[in-house]
Chains A and B, each alone.
Chain A
Amino acid sequence: MAIDLKPSEISSILKKQLSDFKQQVDTAEVGVVLSVGDGIAHVYGLAGVMAGELVTFPGDIAGMVLNLEDDNVGIAIFGEDFHVKEGDEVKRTGRIASISVGDAVRGRIVDALGNAIDGGSPISTSESRKIEVKAPGIIDRADVREPLQTGIKMIDALTPIGRGQRELIIGDRKTGKTTIAIDTIINQRGENVMCFYVAIGQKRSTVVQVYETLKKFGAMEYTTIVAATASDPAPMQYLAPYSGCTMAEYYRETGKHALIIYDDLTKQAQAYRQLSLLLRRPPGREAFPGDIFYLHSRLLERAAKMSPENGGGSLTALPIVETQANDVSAYIPTNVISITDGQIFLEADTFTSGQRPAINPGISVSRVGGDAQVKAMKQTAGSLRLELAQYRELAGFAQFASDLDAATKRQLERGHRLMQIMKQGVHETLPVAKQIAIMYAGTNGYLDDLPIDRVRDFEQKLYEALDVEPQEYIKLVNAKKTMTDEVKAALDRVLEQLTGKKHNKQ
């Protein structure tokens, strides 16, 4: 877009500004920097300052008051601390840290303070909200009831996620945690769910990758990325999840639905540890400060499903936590596991063996998602969970025995095939009807006669066959949402056509 402005007009605008400019006295409450280092400034004065208030250093560097002490104030600097010198004047703003919210942030990349960092125009919204607010109360909430489809078979079948739920994604590095989160965002296309991806302490190149992926799948239209990368000061990394949450809450409060991903909270905890130690707060276990649990619990409590009287909006949170060598009993993982409504466990061994997504179905749970699961899926996946559990038990045992009876063998073969259909490619999300179809095929023995290496081909063919008009099954299941005999019959017809023979269910 070309700017339609002539130089003479600019001059006249500026002249007008100049002539309108009145001399005014600028009043501010100030303090003096006593010491500064590692992103923390200790300031003398500022007697009336509030905890959490924003202050400005010379050069318009922002800071947030974290410690109020007898004779000085501890301030986290949101910027380069080498611009701040001893003796500098620090001004109060009178505002508690807040951030612009609304539709203007959609499709943008912003930093922890809500400034655009994607090279686009500055974000202008009429509304701004406090970054730290209390989570909704008990009466304001409702049960988690509606499903939030991730498009990933294994999650939607075994650990379903409901709108307003908090489901932890946990695993070692390089096990596909971020991929699950990104796929979930991609799958929200057309679902009217606003997505927020908060990148904490990641490489900038990784954030670009995420952005490009989302853009490629058209997901940036309804997504905002909040980025506090590894090179940003620790206070920014500490604040980013709260900023993202505040932006997402705007939708929850206005009766809409939002999804937020915190990638990852381990890094946020580390940033907060750094901040706390520099503020001389006493260290506890693993040198984390005493309020590290509260740091995460108050953040995740803000994810909620609101009651119909409050608009019925929802905010679903998918926090990510990285473990070291599968150790889930470390401090941060145990904390976050206990806060969330379930967890999706990813394992490096499973990942390297080619079973991807590398979710361990045995220890992954969803405490509230069951109520929200699509009924048809619940009916189909019920037996799936059982069969997978039996398979795991037998698989370990079968390694020792050479001779197995026919029943056990059949169960093992079934298990192998079920594990095959649990596999799913990156960014290949599936609508719930198709997920149900393949699981129905697996649990009802349609795959038993197929060689294992043909199972995935069959899966592809099934999806293609389902898409063929008149799409009887898909329309039926989407309308009824349960596996009635009618739906089953429609699906059986497609499957029998594909296998080329009449099938006896077992």
Chain B
Amino acid sequence: MVVHSKAAKRYAKALFDLALKSGELDSIRGDLEAILKLMHDAPDLVKFMRDYMLPASARTKTLAEIFSSRINELTFRFIRLLEEKKRCGILDNICVSFANMHDQMQGIIKGQITSPIMFESQDIQTITTYAQTKTEGRLVLSTVIDPSLLGGFKLRLGDVVYDASVAAQIHTLREKMISV
């Protein structure tokens, strides 16, 4: 995922280091993922987070109502710090940044299988086994459907793409024919 804000990375790094020290990485990541999902499902929350026109007391109270006792103490303290620094607007970016850092630490490599039709789980297993030979990290693969590939599949591991789609084959064949 793309993170645009440099500030988000810094805040995430601070939280990450603290969580690592206190050994609460997993629980905080869970919190942040839940928050991200919440923000995705409830656009009102995003609006509220970014709206510093509300009186500070009201905001603090509302934030406490939403989050306190539902999430890890450290996460809540972190949100209060963001509130104090008026940085609640970048919370979503921080969540993503944190997840990236966590993945990196665990050596997780995100991948994506793009196929023109929904693959059987057996096929996906075969591709995953193949993909595992290409990388040393732990693979987490997601699947995407893209009919424009026509056939075959496309595997993306980090920045590297293995294109075994029919569309790409046709393209190469076309170039070869033109150059004859």
A→B interface (CB under 8 Å): 13-14, 17-18, 21, 23-32, 34, 44-48, 70-71, 89, 91
Q: Contacts of B9 on A, CB cut-off 8 Å?
A: 71
Q: How far is the CA of A21 from the CA of B172 in the complex (A)?
A: 9
Partner of B161, one of A17, A29, A47: A29
Judge whether A25 and B164 touch: CB under 8 Å. Answer: yes
- A21 adjacent to B173 (CB under 8 Å): yes
Q: Name A18's closest neighbour in chain B (CB-CB).
A: B173
From B164, which residue of chain A is reached at the shortest CB distance? Answer: A25
B159 within 8 A of A: yes
Query: Please, how many angstroms separate the alpha-carbon atoms of A8 and B177 in the complex?
Result: 15
- Evaluate contact between B159 and A30: CB separation under 8 angstroms: yes
Contact of B159 among A14, A17, A24, A31 (CB under 8 A): A31
Q: Verify B173–A30 contact, CB threshold 8 A.
A: no
Q: Give 14 pairs: A residue, B residue, CB < 8 Å, sorted on A.
A: A17-B173, A18-B173, A21-B169, A25-B163, A26-B164, A26-B168, A27-B162, A28-B160, A28-B161, A32-B2, A44-B2, A46-B159, A47-B158, A71-B4
B interface vs A, CB < 8 Å? Answer: 2-4, 6, 9, 156, 158-164, 168-169, 172-173, 176-177, 180
Is B156 a contact of A30 with CB atoms below 8 Å? yes
Determine the chain A residues whose CB is within 8 A of the CB of B160 once the complex forms: 27-30
* Bound Cα distance from A30 to B158, whole angstroms: 9
**Do B159 and A45 touch (CB < 8 A)?**
yes
Contact flag A34-B2 (CB < 8 Å), given A26-B168, A29-B160, A29-B161: yes
CA distance A30 to B173 in the complex (A): 21
Apart from A21-B173, A27-B160, A44-B2, what 11 extra A-B contacts exist at CB < 8 Å? A14-B177, A17-B173, A17-B176, A24-B172, A25-B162, A26-B162, A26-B168, A34-B4, A46-B159, A71-B6, A89-B161
Q: Residue A23 contacts which of B4, B169, B180 (CB distance < 8 angstroms)?
A: B169
Which one of B3, B6, B9, B180 has the highest number of Cβ atoms from chain A below 10 Å of its Cβ? B180
Shortest distance from the beta carbon of B163 to any chain A beta carbon, whole Å? 4
Contacts of B159 in A (CB 8 A): 29-31, 45-48
A17, B177: Cβ atoms under 8 Å? Answer: yes
Please indicate the chain B residues that have their CB under 8 angstroms from the CB of A89 in the complex. 161
B residues less than 8 Å from A14 (CB atoms): 177, 180
How many whole Å from B57's CB to the nearest CB in chain A? Answer: 36
A-B pairs with the 4 shortest C-beta distances? A26-B163, A25-B164, A45-B159, A30-B161
Cα of A408 to Cα of B162 in the assembled complex, Å? 86
Contact residues in B for A46 (Cβ distance below 8 Å): 159
Bound form: Cα–Cα A29–B9 in Å: 25
Residues of B within 8 A of A29 (CB): 159-161
B176 and A28 contact, CB distance less than 8 A: no
A22 → B minimal CB distance (Å): 10
Complex formed: what's the CA distance from A112 to B164 in Å? Answer: 34
Contact B176 A21 (CB under 8 A): yes
Tell me, in angstroms, the Cα distance from A449 to B163 when the chains sit together. Answer: 85
Closest to B168 in A: A26
Docked pose: A46 CA to B161 CA in angstroms: 11
Complex alpha-carbon distance, A18 and B177, angstroms: 9
Q: Which residues of B contact A28 (CB under 8 A)?
A: 160-161, 163
Q: Which residues of A contact B162 (CB under 8 A)?
A: 25-27
Residues of B within 8 A of A24 (CB): 169, 172
**How near does chain A come to B177, taking the closest CB pair, in angstroms?**
6
Establish whether residues A26 and B173, one from each chain, have CB atoms under 8 Å apart when the complex forms.
no
Q: How far is the CA of A23 from the CA of B160 in the complex (A)?
A: 19
Task: Tell me how far the C-beta of A34 lies from the nearest C-beta in chain B, rounded to whole angstroms.
Answer: 6
What separation, in Å, do the CA atoms of A23 and B177 have in the docked complex?
Answer: 15
What is the CB-to-nearest-CB distance from B38 to chain A, in angstroms, rounded to a whole number?
Answer: 25
Q: How far is the CA of A24 from the CA of B166 in the complex (A)?
A: 10
Note all chain B residues with C-beta closer than 8 A to A23.
164, 169
**How far, in whole Å, are A297 and B129 apart by their CA atoms in the complex?**
54
Complex Cα gap A21–B169 (Å): 9
Closest Cβ of chain A to B107, distance in Å, is: 16
* Closest beta carbon of chain B to A20's beta carbon, Å: 9
CA distance A262 to B127 in the complex (A): 54
Residue among B3, B161, B162, B180 with the most chain A CB within 10 A?
Answer: B161
Q: How far is the CB of A32 from chain B (nearest CB, A)?
A: 8
Q: Shortest beta-carbon distance, B109 to chain A, in Å?
A: 12
- Judge whether B163 and A27 touch: CB under 8 Å: yes
Q: How far is the CA of A454 from the CA of B130 in the complex (A)?
A: 90
- Known A31-B159, A47-B159: A26·B180 in contact at CB below 8 Å: no
A13 CA to B2 CA, complexed, in Å: 47
Which chain B positions have C-beta within 8 A of A26? Answer: 162-164, 168, 172
* A17 CB contact (under 8 Å) in B2, B163, B168, B180: B180
B-chain residues with CB within 8 Å of residue A34 when the two chains form the complex: 2, 4
Smallest CB–CB gap between B126 and chain A, Å? 14
Q: Which residues of A contact B172 (CB under 8 A)?
A: 24, 26
A21 to B175, CA, bound (A): 12
Report the bound CA distance from A195 to B172 in whole Å.
38
Kindly state the separation between the CA atoms of A21 and B168 in the bound complex, as whole angstroms: 13
User: How far does the Cβ of B116 sit from chain A's closest Cβ, in whole Å?
Assistant: 16
Say how far A42's CB is from chain B's closest CB, in angstroms.
10
